[in-house]
Structure 1
């Protein structure tokens, strides 16, 4: 009986595996022929990355949370994360400008120096996604923006907790207004306007450099608004995928086309000093398929 069941399982697996392999192979062939999948170009220097082993992540969820019509702090969540490979530094001005010179990227707004040790700024979410495609084609690998969870995982102890610490049972809006005012005043007082060279803000326990300095980083996570019941359980949720979360000293939602956050685009609070990005190198076996389906790394 055991032998019979094992044989059935092997036959069932074979009947599934072969068609699946054919689909994967066919999809890959179509993707490469059509240009949807990254193809190795003329190479060039591969960005320095760090590898973070699988582990636990505890962080405050991104988004706007409301209970009984009043804004409340986002809940803390715990999860297990898979291994992650991410750029040690933000994408440099020199590398982004190389993409511009090769016709792959849109020229950035801020005329900062085109240096290999200076983070690129003056780029929108859309610009960052285009650069990720260019780098993927350049290296033959899949590079993409991190999700907010991935960036929180990489940032580790440097990831900010934006909670105001107001009692969620309180119905006095003045307490929240005062706490929010004090926080935003402190944020404005600590601003450093100009991008600084790599290494200016140190490394965290994973070796990730300069997170939480004066560069906020684009993520692929859309802004969401969540309504909670009296027990803080979600009862409804709405996403706005034209607005993405950036993270640095604090989190800030920005419209996908915003390049200069101080000129507008931040829905609440003090705007980021500068916005740049770093990318994840996605080694998942199905990453090229996601790339082909979406038309960009995801």
Structure 2
């Protein structure tokens, strides 16, 4: 308690606040592969986005749109400005911590052809190698970071749910709109531009794994939900939400659980705040 009071006094004096500001501006780079040393993390704090929870929502056995809400991060977090590259992943392969990719490619290009399991292995390797704590974003965190590029997957069907044809037709129209040919070949970092908070290539032709499991929600007549989580299926985010089994590397081979498959599967990581500055943030709520 005395230490916490001392820290609060230091913040109030402005000295520690200056140190924290300097730490936020001086984002650490990592060079786990010796090729890339320019990785920048964007701090997500107060951003808000319109969001529908992921998974399937059922009322009286009929599928319905999830409720649309506004969400903000529960706690500030840092997310990679760009996606992990093939060269960075190669270092994990060389160290024996990650599986070899199925196809060769240029080291500087964004990584594609990885499963959820591969993504988890790479985050664990990077955490151990650098001493930082890296992980996949949750679906909510990804949506907040994507901002205006997050795609609402609601169908907007508000008529009688006892007529399944209406929802089926709306779903068909949505899938048909997504079925336009997406260029599958990975493109250089920055090819799809930057969103309003500084992230590159969000919702381009690479979908990004999240840590969120597929969940089925059943609503009773009062709107109270019961849920069942299936973590053998995870969510990948991009031009649209995709539900995929965790070991899938190539969704075009027919392994997409729902809807039009993603063109490519890649990784963008969140960095957790640890150590002294993380404790300061927890004490003061930032």
| TM-score in terms of structure 2 length | 0.80
Return the alpha-carbon distance in structure 2 between the equivalents of residues 224 and 246 of structure 1. Answer: 14
Q: For residue 46 of structure 1, report the CA deviation from its aligned partner.
A: 6.4
The answer to whether the 8 Å contact 1:41/1:138 transfers is no
Deviates more, 1:254-263 or 1:168-177: 168-177
2:59 matched residue in structure 1:
67
Q: For residue 153 of structure 1, report the CA deviation from its aligned partner.
A: 0.8
Task: From 71, 74, 80, give the equivalent of 1:79.
Answer: 71
Structure 1 position 270 matched with structure 2 position 263: no
Return the alpha-carbon distance in structure 1 between the equivalents of residues 55 and 62 of structure 2. Answer: 14
Structure 1 position 94 matched with structure 2 position 87: yes
Q: CA RMSD in A?
A: 2.4
Q: Decide whether aligned partners of structure 1 residues 151 and 168 sit closer, same or farther in structure 2, where only a CA change above 3 A counts.
A: farther
The answer to whether the 8 Å contact 2:77/2:273 transfers is no
The answer to whether the 8 Å contact 2:175/2:259 transfers is yes
Return the alpha-carbon distance in structure 1 between the equivalents of residues 46 and 152 of structure 2. Answer: 22
Equivalence map 1:245-264=2 (5 Å): 245-264=235-254
Task: From 119, 123, 128, give the equivalent of 1:132.
Answer: 123
2:283 matched residue in structure 1:
none
Structure 1 position 106 matched with structure 2 position 99: yes
Equivalence map 1:30-69=2 (5 Å): 45=37, 47-69=39-61
1:19 matched residue in structure 2:
none
Return the alpha-carbon distance in structure 2 between the equivalents of residues 77 and 102 of structure 1. Answer: 43
Q: Decide whether aligned partners of structure 1 residues 98 and 114 sit closer, same or farther in structure 2, where only a CA change above 3 A counts.
A: farther
Q: For residue 47 of structure 1, report the CA deviation from its aligned partner.
A: 2.6
Unaligned runs of 5+ in 1: 1-9, 14-39, 289-298
Q: For residue 114 of structure 1, report the CA deviation from its aligned partner.
A: 2.8
Q: For residue 184 of structure 1, report the CA deviation from its aligned partner.
A: 1.1
Number of equivalenced pairs: 249
Q: Decide whether aligned partners of structure 1 residues 234 and 196 sit closer, same or farther in structure 2, where only a CA change above 3 A counts.
A: farther
1:197 matched residue in structure 2:
188
Q: For residue 66 of structure 1, report the CA deviation from its aligned partner.
A: 0.7
Greater radius of gyration (CA): 1
Return the alpha-carbon distance in structure 2 between the equivalents of residues 224 and 201 of structure 1. Answer: 31
Q: For residue 168 of structure 1, report the CA deviation from its aligned partner.
A: 5.4
Q: For residue 110 of structure 1, report the CA deviation from its aligned partner.
A: 2.9
Return the alpha-carbon distance in structure 2 between the equivalents of residues 255 and 150 of structure 1. Answer: 20
Return the alpha-carbon distance in structure 1 between the equivalents of residues 115 and 72 of structure 2. Answer: 30
Return the alpha-carbon distance in structure 2 between the equivalents of residues 285 and 226 of structure 1. Answer: 38
Return the alpha-carbon distance in structure 2 between the equivalents of residues 61 and 42 of structure 1. Answer: 35
Unaligned runs of 5+ in 2: 5-29, 279-286
The answer to whether the 8 Å contact 2:32/2:91 transfers is no
Return the alpha-carbon distance in structure 2 between the equivalents of residues 135 and 211 of structure 1. Answer: 22
2:175 matched residue in structure 1:
184
Q: For residue 63 of structure 1, report the CA deviation from its aligned partner.
A: 0.7
Q: For residue 254 of structure 1, report the CA deviation from its aligned partner.
A: 0.7
| TM-score in terms of structure 1 length | 0.77
Q: For residue 58 of structure 1, report the CA deviation from its aligned partner.
A: 2.9
